[in-house]
Amino acid sequence: MLDSFTDLIEPFSHRGVDLGLGRLQGALAELGHPERRFAAVQVAGTNGKGSICTLVHRSLLAAGIRAGLYTSPHLVSWTERIRLGPDPIPATVLRRHLRSAREVAERHQLTPFELVTAAAFLAFAEAQLPLVVLEVGLGGRLDATSCHPDRGVIGFATVGLDHRECLGPDLASIAAEKAGVLQPGAVAVSAPQAAAVTAVLERQAEAMGAQLCWRPPLAQAADGSLEIQGEFCACGLAGSVQAANGAVALGMLEALAERGWPVGVAAIRQGFAQARWPGRLQQLHWCGVPLLLDGAHNPPAAAALRAELDRHPARHGLGKGPRHWLLGILANKQGAELVTQLLAPTDLAWIVPVPGHASWSRDALAAAAPQLAQQLEAAEDLEQAIQLAQHGAGGERLIVAGSLYLIGDLLAGADGSS
């Protein structure tokens, strides 16, 4: 049976999202400062962080470096968030570190994310990993991963409008929170950003004495392979967005090489080919029904997904006809904007609740986006939505999107991949 860790994590859930570094810094001090026992690189941004992290991590492993990885959220198990080398942390080891940190966490009133971050730092230190890749959870300036004291190489994924309730109302405000990860002397790498984001990153880098390196997207072939130092190589991650994500990852790896880490081009090519990131343009079957899963959960990600499917339908197992969508959208997300980005005029969407979370209903979305009302249907859950949608799809692959939590719930019961 899958270990949910509910008994150890749930007691801290009343804290919710509460950004800040002081609580975790105090807890880490009592735990003996495990964060000081390994080097780290960090990736901030809105969309693409996980892809960049896995490209970097797999390349480090291919270079023979025992590297760790810390990402969020998970899809099925909390163990997915922590990798000790190539593999997720064993459930027994994560449970032991959560128990070790529990008393200190209670004393410092940590949030669930801070507790798991403390456990991850303990696990990385115990495993004596020399280098860890850290994905920012939310924002950057006040994110728990920024408690690591020396993040000499930093990557910026695309910055867009998301979590405005926590980070600010516009791109400049959100970018300022993301740019807060910059440290004096750090090398930061970014692909092209929106003008408002570019201005903030450049201003913050100059103020902090960090070096900001802009990288154009990598050349990408029709089969999705990416050009790395004059040669096209396979990329295990799907989508046109990997041209920009790959450029950031490559820049970070080259910066690490300049700092003495033994990362060569052959290892980078191997790492890119071996990279996998579930729940993003992932094809599988559920009870025999072909599905395409993508956790697009904000308008920029939705726009990127729509553009990808229009540009390369066959690559993702789709025809050229209307799309049939199964959407679960958290109530705190921009639901109307998200469905507007996803749906073409002939598309249909079945709106489902995200298990365990407050979600947009079909009626609420229809009221917020009345021009789409005739394209929206309601379903009690994802299973019913699949049954309803497949009848009119003519064997076409159904697309599940809107929330990584929805994707995770489906993956926990999927019957195979293709």
Domain boundaries, the chain: 6-274, 282-411
Cα separation, 245 vs 237, in Å, equals 10
- SS3 of residue 226 by DSSP: strand
**Per-residue model confidence as pLDDT tens for the chain (418 residues):** 567 899 999 988 877 778 899 999 999 999 999 999 999 999 999 999 999 999 999 999 999 999 999 999 999 999 999 999 999 999 999 999 999 999 999 999 999 999 999 999 999 999 999 999 999 999 999 999 999 999 999 999 999 887 778 888 999 999 999 999 999 999 999 999 999 999 999 999 999 999 999 999 999 999 999 999 999 999 999 999 999 999 999 999 999 999 999 999 999 999 999 999 999 999 999 888 999 999 998 999 999 999 999 999 999 999 888 999 999 999 999 999 999 999 999 999 999 999 999 999 999 999 999 999 999 999 999 999 999 999 877 888 999 999 999 999 999 876 444 4
What's the predicted TM-score (pTM) here?
Answer: 0.93
Place of tokens 């900001």: 212
Q: How far apart are CA 145 and CA 151, in angstroms?
A: 10
* Distance separating alpha carbons of residues 118 and 96, to the nearest angstrom: 12
| Contacts (Cβ under 8 Å, ≥6 apart) of 41 | 56, 131, 132, 133, 134, 151, 152, 153, 154, 155, 252, 256
Per-residue pLDDT tens digits for 225-277: 999 999 999 999 999 999 999 999 999 999 999 999 999 999 999 999 999 99
Q: Are strands 282-286 and 211-214 parallel, antiparallel or unpaired?
A: unpaired
Cα distances (Å, whole numbers) of residue 232 to 55, 224, 226, 253, 262: 15, 10, 5, 17, 22
In DSSP terms, 290 is beta-bridged to 285
Residue 282 β-bridge partners: 293
Place of tokens 């950004």: 19
Cβ 372 vs Cβ 344: under 8 Å: no
Dihedral pair phi/psi, residue 230, rounded to 5°: 85, 0
Yes or no: domain 6-274 corresponds to CATH 3.20.10.10: no
What does the alpha-carbon distance between residue 379 and residue 96 come to, in Å, rounded to a whole number?
40
Rounded to a whole number of angstroms, the distance between the first and last alpha carbons of the chain is: 25
Contact between 9 and 116 under an 8 Å Cβ cutoff? The reply is: yes
Amino acid code (one letter) for 156: F
**Do 6-274 and 282-411 fold alike per CATH?**
no
Name the nearest CA neighbour of 74 among 42, 122, 28, 116. Answer: 116
Contact between 360 and 329 under an 8 Å Cβ cutoff? The reply is: yes
Closest CA to 303 of 38, 46, 15: 46
Residues contacting 371, CB < 8 A, separation 6+: none
CATH number, domain 282-411: 3.90.190.20
CA distances from 36 to 43, 150, 290, 351 (A): 18, 8, 46, 46
